[in-house]
Amino acid sequence: MSPRGKLYFMLAGLLAVGLAVIFATQAQPAALTSPLAIRQGEVRQVEKALEFSVATATSTDLADLEPRPDLGDAKARYLCLEMKQQGNDEAGYGELICPGGDDTTVGVTPTGEAVAPVAEDGVVEATIESPESGTLKVTIPLAELGLPFGAYEFRFISSDGSCGSEPGDDCVDQLPGDGGADFTLQTPVMAGCSGADGVEVRSGPEDRKVVALTFDDGPGTSTGEILDILKEKRADGTFFLLGQAVEMDPETAREIVLSGSEVANHSMAHDAFPTSADLTATNDVIEEVAGFRPCSFRPPYGSVDPPLTGRAAGEGMNTVLWDVDTEDWTDGASVDSIVEGAKLNARPGSIILLHDGGDARREKTIDALPGIIDELRGEGYRFVTVSELLGNEIKWTVPEPSDDS
């Protein structure tokens, strides 16, 4: 390590504290006089958010910072976190994340070409605080950034815009001063859920441009491929599982949870109007296998009445139907019709019905899913689980990085 800096690592535990890398340094000698000289920085994952704090030589006015600076501009004034995926060539995905303008957004400039950015306009929601003079604390939902989970190299960079003809060490500061530091974004895993009202719902609140992709009747032979697509597209789903299918394929049920998606109750054997004993047995099987007790229930065939809603409520679950049926289960469905059905009918708060279960490969659903995600994301939608959509209280864990992360 360069004598200009010292690097301290702290890996947090499994729960809400998350994972963090903290370091402090002396500024590069030529940048000591800059008001944006970086004194200390911290990057942390807190559940499903990226959080970073950075301390500069003097207090920083957000209005004076550029959220999407041109680093080649000698007059640009910025304070940014740069993250780049490890294990990739020069085209590997990265993001330059810069506060500036106000305390509710940050600018995001993608670097590399491996992954398309979530934020097409380069601005994402964030919470920016100044806990003390000269320090900014920035919290950004990971779903807003769209950074794939995995290993990253990161650095803080700043410039006060006082460069001469071109940026250089006399006006640009960097922390660490000799390259980058390592950080791993881990997939947050649902460990608990509460707060379900025990009511029947067909969609969620309309105040945010988010939707829930839901998959019925699994785990089945298509579930693994669907999970791969969700991972590639950086989208979460909710899987309404049959208890007997979970017993036959427990590994896939566990994989759903470990992927960051949600598991939910669809009865033991897809019988209409299941009994309380059936609902309890299904939850017991899912919890034993996946380590998560569902707080959402979907009635087989969509058949529901008040007594069934009451039985689900007795198990601490909402009865969750849908407002967008892609009809992927029908013989007449095509890939195009499934995509168009989702695109034309989705609105803020929509719950979209798809299927992953059964012994036969859900070929049309698998082929349509990337298009659904791309089309809706292009219209500004984000993808959340049903529990997130409905505002249930979720307990998340953030696993420690493995040796091969």
pLDDT digits (tens, 9 = 90+) for 163-179: 877 776 668 889 987 77
pLDDT greater than 50 at residue 265 = yes
Phi, psi at residue 369, to the nearest 5°?
A: -60, -45
pLDDT of residue 146: 77
What pLDDT is recorded for position 54? Answer: 94
**Token duo for residue 193:** 């859920």
Q: Is the dihedral of CA 71, 53, 89, 122 positive or negative?
A: negative
**What does the alpha-carbon distance between residue 273 and residue 70 come to, in Å, rounded to a whole number?**
60
Q: Is the pLDDT of residue 9 over 80?
A: no
Query: What are the pLDDT digits (tens) for 337-348?
Result: 999 999 999 999
- Say if residues 45 and 18 touch (Cβ distance below 8 Å): yes
Rounded Cα gap, residues 319 and 310, in angstroms:
9
251: amino acid identity, one letter: E
Q: Out of 173, 216, 217, 356, which one is annotated catalytic?
A: 216
- The residue among 349, 335, 346 whose CA lies nearest residue 378 is 346
* Cα–Cα distance list, 44 to 25, 152, 153 (Å): 18, 12, 13
Residue 264 or residue 144, greater confidence = 264
Q: Is the Cα dihedral 46, 101, 147, 171 positive or negative?
A: negative
- pLDDT tens digits for range 185-212: 999 999 999 999 999 999 999 999 999 9
Assign residue 158 a region: left if phi > 0, alpha if psi is -120 to 50, beta otherwise? beta
Burial class of 18 by CB neighbour count within 10 A (0 to 12, 13 to 18, 19+)? buried
pLDDT for res 398? 87
Residue with tokens 């460990």: 191
Q: Is the pLDDT of residue 7 over 50?
A: no
Reported confidence tier of residue 8, pLDDT bands at 50, 70, 90: very low
How sure is the predictor about 4, in pLDDT bands with cuts at 50, 70 and 90? Answer: very low
Which amino acid, 84? K
Closest to 217 in 3D by CA, of 285, 139, 301:
301
> What spatial distance separates the first Cα and last Cα of the chain, rounded to whole Å?
23
Q: Which member of 160, 249, 328, 355 is catalytic? A: 355
Query: 6 — phi, psi (to 5°)?
Result: -125, 145
Q: What is the pLDDT of residues 31-52, one digit of tens each?
A: 446 788 899 999 999 989 999 9
Per-residue pLDDT, averaged over 284-306, amounts to 97
Which of 210-219, 271-280, 310-319, 391-400 is the least confident region? 391-400
- Residues in a beta bridge with 50: 45, 140
Q: What are the angstrom distances between the C-alpha of 359 and each of 222, 255, 330, 363?
A: 8, 18, 16, 12
Phi first, then psi, for residue 125 (nearest 5°) are -70, 145
pLDDT confidence bin for 13, thresholds 50/70/90: very low
Among candidate residues 317, 211, 341, the one with its CA nearest the CA of residue 263: 317
Output the CA torsion sign for 31, 35, 36, 39.
positive
Q: Catalytic site residue 355?
A: yes
Identify residue 258 by its one-letter amino acid code: L
Backbone φ and ψ of 324, nearest 5°: -130, 110
CA distance 326 to 57: 55
Give strand ranges (E) for 147-261: 150-160, 172-175, 181-185, 189-194, 200-201, 210-218, 237-241
Tell me the C-alpha distance between 297 and 309, whole Å.
9
Which pair of tokens denotes residue 156?
């803080």
Phi/psi for 59 (5° steps) reads -65, 150
Label the pairing between strands 382-383 and 210-218: parallel
Q: How far apart are CA 209 and CA 29, in angstroms?
A: 47
More confident residue, 71 or 204: 204
- The pLDDT of 345-354, averaged and rounded, is 98
Average pLDDT over residues 1-9: 29
* Three-state SS at 176: coil
Report the pLDDT averaged over residues 380-387. 94
Distance CA 401, CA 255 (A): 17
**What confidence score (pLDDT) does residue 87 get?**
72
Q: Inform me whether the pLDDT recorded for 302 exceeds 80.
A: yes
Q: What is the C-alpha separation between 56 and 247, in angstroms, rounded?
A: 55
Average pLDDT, the chain: 87
169 in active site: no
Confidence at residue 277, expressed as pLDDT on a 0 to 100 scale? 98
State both tokens at 182.
């390592």
Domains of the chain: 5-185 (2.60.40), 189-397 (3.20.20.370)
- The residues with which 167 forms a beta bridge, in sequence order, are none
Pick the more confident residue, 136 or 5: 136
Of all residues in the chain, the percent with pLDDT exceeding 70 is: 86
